[in-house]
Amino acid sequence: MQIPIIIDVEASGFGSNSYPIEIGLAMDDGSSHCFLLQPPEHWRHWDREAEKLHGLTRNQLLTFGKPLQKVAMALNELLGCRTVYSDAWGNDQSWIALLFDEVGMLPSFRLDHILSIMDEPQLAHWEQTRAGVIAEMELRRHRASSDARIIQHTYLRTREVTRGKRVNKSVA
């Protein structure tokens, strides 16, 4: 595997009534994509603590979010039948499933946990490497596309450190 595609999902909060509000992708070609979701009227749960983390308001989503059908179609088009990885698989899987269920579609892609492609030495270096990546990239945290890029770069750096492989610095 060269460069994994990473997905990150920000949500209205946690728990059974939460829903996705932003989806970010870090692609294997170095590009990134971010989608704000316009929640349907019956998606009402809103956690002020989650809002403090991601910095998005429900009103911003209603004003600037894209319709769910368009986001689901864009994700399928961008990702095709590939596997994408998440560092919060349990949460992200349920929110992606909710998005696609709401619009009556199936995702064309497969979602897996980033741990499935990591080894023990990478895991041992993860937190320290991630802190360095965050400082170096100066990306705003807790926005989906920024978080996806941080996860991707951290994975690549830990792989480089533990396997002695060089990665393309324009991506990592």
Mean pLDDT across the chain? 92
Within the chain, which residues score under 70 in pLDDT? 1, 140-141, 164-172
Q: What percent of the chain has pLDDT over 70?
A: 92
Residue type, 133: V
Following DSSP, what letter does each residue of the chain receive, concatenated? --S-EEEEEEES-SSTT--EEEEEEE-TTS-EEEEEB---TT-----HHHHHHH---HHHHHHHPBPHHHHHHHHHHHHTT-EEEESSHHHHHHHHHHHHHHTT---SSEEEEGGGG--HHHHHHHHHHHHHHHHHHTPPTTSHHHHHHHHHHHHHHHHHHHH-----TTT-
> What are the tens digits of pLDDT across the range 5-45?
999 999 999 888 999 999 999 999 999 999 999 999 999 99
pTM for the model: 0.91
Q: Which fold would CATH assign to domain 5-163? A: Nucleotidyltransferase; domain 5 (3.30.420)
